[in-house]
Amino acid sequence: MSIIKKQTKIMKHLENVTLRKKQEIADMLIDIFYRILIEVPNNFDEILNFVVDDVNERADKIHWNDGDVAFSFKKYIESKN
């Protein structure tokens, strides 16, 4: 297998991991909205991108969890005040 094919395969895998993580974070955010009895906001994509970026920057790369997502969502809300 050529180096380019190996690199392409690795990049594809990383993209899939990133998409799965973003989907997991989206699911956790929706769970938070349901628990605090609010509908999914119109600016969900903005919130999701903020939270994904914050979790990626601040939380453990492997052992992040819903607490990290909740903390990042709180930071998003506080940034709007």
Domain ranges of the chain: 21-79
- CA 73 to chain CA mean position, Å: 10
Contacts of 40 (CB under 8 A, 6+ apart): 30, 33
Please give the model's pTM, rounded to 2 decimal places.
Answer: 0.82
Tokens 């999701």 map to which residue?
48
- Give the total residue count for the chain: 81
Q: What pLDDT shows up at residue 17?
A: 72
Q: What pLDDT shows up at residue 15?
A: 72
CA atoms of 12 and 5, how far apart (whole Å): 10
Tokens 């990626």 map to which residue?
56
Q: Which residue has the higher pLDDT, 17 or 67?
A: 67
